[in-house]
Each structure stands twice: as structure tokens, then as C-alpha cells.
Amino acid sequence: MVKQIRERLYAIEVPLPNSPLKDLNSYVIKGENRHLIIDTGFNRSVCYEAMLKGLAELDVDLNKTDFMLTHMHADHTGLVMRLATEASKIFFSRIDAMVFDEDNSWQPLIDFARLNGFPAEALQNALNAHPGFKYSPEKKPDFTRIDDGDVLEYGGYRLRAIATPGHTQGHICLYEADEKLFFSGDHVLFDITPHIESWDYSVNSLADYLASLDKVRDLPVELVLPGHRNFFTDLRGRIEEIKTHHHERADEVMAVLGSRSLNAYEIAAGMTWDIDCDTWEEFPVAQKWFATGEAIAHLRYLESEGRISRSTAQEVVTFRGL
């Protein structure tokens, strides 16, 4: 499905089967000489066919098309190497680009998950079910790296890159000041709350995320164009709702801990999740992975706030309230 948003600006709805996200909004700006596509969908046939159908409807020549990827996740980057041509530029965050380095592997994440109580026997299944493992680009793109404040000009739009770490360390939003448009990627979503996870104690992703929300909170915005679900207008109001949600989640983690000493996997099992399962045991292994990562992000935040302590005395890291 293709929707026109403004003159020369369109959205292609790309299905994401078996994902709670349901669809990706891939944005297309048609220019006189070059076009720009913002985010692409999974590296899956159903996504590829939807993109090709939408681009054909818009009469977009991929030989005259560049790409902007808001962040590293496969639902945003997966198709880029199937759509890009030799003439294409692929704009991408300098930070998130490091994830695609040849020497990068999933092993540190596996080791960290085990350190935080994720059952060893389930780790390979969790990896095999992870969309980032299954649906990423088949080969490393040749990126044109961009930084905070860089500007892309297509179709009469001037898109300023705004670094918004949190959802990923290198997440980038795009702001068009004249039209008051904000392409929010997965930084701010209307229908659902963006997933914030952490797989490294050196990164306080939730603190980074809350600071990034404040960074864009007061931008003059008439329309927010997110990576998933519905467009919306009240950026400031939605940011306040998301901030409240995460503070409530942090309080919930404290309640789950109580006076006990628990690991992150055990804490995730005790938290509430918006998923159609009656018990933690029924959760798909991929959802247990995401839940544990989100629990770690809140634990790391609470630790930085001086509300909990972390113990590394045992083989599995545990946390306790202060």
C-alpha cells in the first residue's frame, strides 16, 4: 500500500510477517534527479515484493535512488542490498555501521546473555529465531556515514540528521524544519513503545534514550513519521507518555526484586509483557531474549541511579535493591 503524505513524499507499507510490529513504513521522496528511500524492511521475499510493487506504482527508478537507514535493525536495513544499485548512496550512522564490520559476531551477545541468566540450552534457539540474525542484508553495504547535524537534500526537502541514541546506539532521526516533519524511525512511536534493550554493562541505553527524547521534545513538529504504525502530530505529548512508561517499568523492576537477589532473566520473567501468553514458559524464545534485554536496560539505569547494586561474585550476575 502506498500513501501520499506531502508533495513528492510517500510511504510504502511493508509487511513484517510474524512480527508484533506488523509493518514497516518505508518513506520515499521523489526528486528531479535523485530519489531517497528511508528504511527498507526485512530481507524477505514478501518485503521485497511489497517494496518493488510500491516503487513501481510511484515510477521510481532504482538507478536514480539513494537510501537512508535510521538504524541497524533488520526490519530497517535488511533489503537495502537487494534494492540498491551501483549508483546508490546508502546513508547510515557512523556508530551503527560498526555492527556490519566483518569481524563483528553474535558471540559477545550470547556470552552476555548467559552471564545474565539466560539458559545456555536455549541460547542457540534464541539466536536462530532472532530477526536480526535471519533477515539482515546478505553482504555488508558500502555506507556513506553520516553524523549529527548532517543534511540530506532530496525533492525540495532538507533533512537534518539528529543523533538519538537509545533504541540503538547509532539511531538517527531526520527533521525537516520548513515543513515541520519529523522522521522518527523507532525513536518515537505512537501505537507502541519503542523497545530499549542493553547487552553491555558499559552502555546505559535507557539513560541515553531518555536524554534523546528530551533532545527532540521541543522541536516545532506538525507531523511525526515513525518507522511503524500510525503517523501522529503531538510529539511532545507522546514523549511525555513514553518517559512515564519507562519510569513505571523501572519501578516495576524494583517491585519484582523486592528484598531478593535475582538475575536479569529471572527479573524479566516476573515483569508484565504485552504478549498473548499466560506464563513465562509459554513465551517464544525470541520474545524471552527481547524481554531479558529490556530488563537489563532498566537494571543498568537503576544501578546508575543508585537504587540497586550489581553482584559479579557468582557465575551469573545478580542484582539487589538498595
For the chain, give every domain's residue range.
Answer: 2-321
DSSP characters for 166-234? SSSTT-EEEEETTTTEEEEETTS-SSSPPP---S-TT--HHHHHHHHHHHHTTS--SEEEESSS--BS-
Q: Give me the residues of the chain with pLDDT under 50, please.
A: none
- Residue 99 has a pLDDT of 87
State the architecture of 2-321 in CATH terms. Answer: 4-Layer Sandwich (3.60)
- Residue 130 has a pLDDT of 85
- Residue 291 has a pLDDT of 96
pTM of the model: 0.96
For 104-158, how does the pLDDT look when each residue is reduced to its tens digit (9 = 90+)?
678 888 899 999 999 988 988 888 888 888 899 988 899 999 999 999 999 999 9
